[in-house]
């Protein structure tokens, strides 16, 4: 599995929640100041 596929999998897992007992995530992934993620997502 390549890094991008693993990242997508983990973001989807992080977004899953039980609305009966949890609030929805406000933020799952945010950009970093150094833009280290840009090569991965472009």
pTM for this entry: 0.52
Q: How confident is the model at residue 1 (pLDDT cuts 50, 70, 90)?
A: low
Residue (of 21, 19, 12, 18) closest to 29 by Cα position: 12
User: Residue with structure tokens 């609030």?
Assistant: 23
Q: How confident is the model at residue 42 (pLDDT cuts 50, 70, 90)?
A: low
pLDDT value for 39: 81
Rounded to whole angstroms, the Cα distance separating 33 from 41 reads 15
pLDDT value for 20: 92
- For the stretch 11-40, pLDDT in tens is 888 888 888 998 888 877 777 889 887 787
Strand, coil or helix: what is 9? helix
């Amino acid at each position: 599995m390549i890094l991008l596929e693993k990242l997508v999998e983990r973001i989807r897992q992080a977004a899953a929640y039980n609305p009966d007992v949890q609030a929805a995530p406000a933020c799952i992934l945010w950009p970093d100041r150094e833009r280290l993620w840009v090569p991965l997502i472009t």
